[in-house]
Amino acid sequence: MSAVLNMILQRVFLGLLTLLVVSALVFVSVEFLPGDVAEQILGQSATPETLAALREQLGLNTPPVQRYLAWLGGILQGDFGRSVINQREITAILADRLGNTLFLAAMATLIAVPLAVGLGILAALKRNTWIDRWINIGTLTAISFPEFFVAYGLIYVFSAKLGWLPSISVVGSDTALSDRLVLTLLPALTLTLIVTAHMMRMTRASLINLLALPYVEMARLKGAAQRRVVVVHALPNAVAPIVNVIALNIAYMIAGVVIVEVVFVYPGLGQLLVDSVSKRDVTVVQAACLIFASAFILFNLVADVISILSNPRLLHRSTK
C-alpha cells in the first residue's frame, strides 16, 4: 500500500507543478494581449500624463516577473486581487459566476452519466445488432459536430420551432431553482450530447471484454439471469475505467463551457472570461484561466488516482 501512496503523492506533486507552469503561461499570455489596459480604461483621448499615472497606480510599470510573483503570492493567500476595470474584488466577481458554471456542469453530469452508462450497457448486450449500430451512430454524430453547432441546433428545435425552452439562459442569484433548471436545460443538453459518446463507448468496451471472461460464462452456465450477470458479475469490475472517463469528461464540462455559455448568454465563468478579454481586464482573465486550469488538473488527477487504485498489480511491489 505504501507503493500506491507514493505513486498518488507523485501524481499530486506533478499536478501542483503543472498548475504552477500553467499559471506562468497564463500570466505570460495575458501580457501579450494587444492593447493597453490604461488606455482601455481612460479612452484614447487620455493624456500621456494621466496614462502614466494610471499605469503607476495599477502597478503596470513594475517588471513582469515582480508582478507575477506578487500575483502568485496573493493567490496562495486566497487573494486574486482587484479588477483593473471596475476595481471590484475578483473573489466577489468570481463567486456567482463560478457557482453558475458548477451548477451547469453538475446538471449536465446528472443527465449525461446515467444516459451514457445505460446506452453503453444496452449496446454491449445488443452487440453487432441494429440497436448497437444506431447507438454508436447517434453518439458519434453528436460528438462530431462543434459545440456551437449543437447549441444552435437545439435552440432552433426546442426554442424557435417548438417553443418549449428559452434560447437565452440568463440566471441570477435570486432565480428560483425550478426556473434555474428550465433556463439551464438547453446548455446542459448541449454538453450532454458532446460528452456522452466517450462515456458510452468506454462502458460498452469494458462490458464486452468482461462478458467474454470465463467467470461470467460460468455464471451464465449456472443459470444466472442476464440482468444478474451484468449487474452483479460484470458491471462492478467495469466501474474503474468508467469512473475514470467520467472524471475526465466532468473536467471537460467545467473547463470547456466557454463556447456553450457564450451561445446561451449564460452568466458563468466562461462568459466572464470572454467579456474580460474584450475589455482587457487582465486580472480577471488571469483568475478565470487559472480556475479553469485548476479544475481540469484536479479532475485529471482524480482520474489518475482512480486508475492507480483500480489496478491490483500496483498494490504489490515488484520482486524483480
Query: With contact defined as beta carbons under 8 Å apart, do 108 and 188 qualify?
Result: yes
Instruction: Report d(CA 42, CA 28) in Å as an integer.
Output: 24
Residue 40: per-residue pLDDT:
63
The model's pTM is 0.79
- Residue 153 and residue 186 in contact, taking contact as beta carbons nearer than 8 Å: no
Q: Which of 86, 189, 204, 201 is CA-nearest to residue 140?
A: 201
The residues of the chain scoring below 50 in pLDDT are 318-320
Nearest 5 degrees, angle CA 260-CA 266-CA 269? 80
Distance CA(282)–CA(274), nearest Å, equals: 11
Distance CA 176, CA 9 (A): 42
Instruction: Provide the pLDDT for residue 319.
Output: 45
Nearest to 190 by CA among 269, 274, 252: 252
Instruction: Give strand pairing partners of 215.
Output: none
Q: What's the CA gap between 298 and 247, in Å, rounded?
A: 9
DSSP code per residue over 249-261: HHHHHHHT-HHHH
Domain 96-280: give its CATH architecture.
Answer: Orthogonal Bundle (1.10)
Instruction: Return the pLDDT at 37.
Output: 65
**So what's the pLDDT on residue 35?**
64
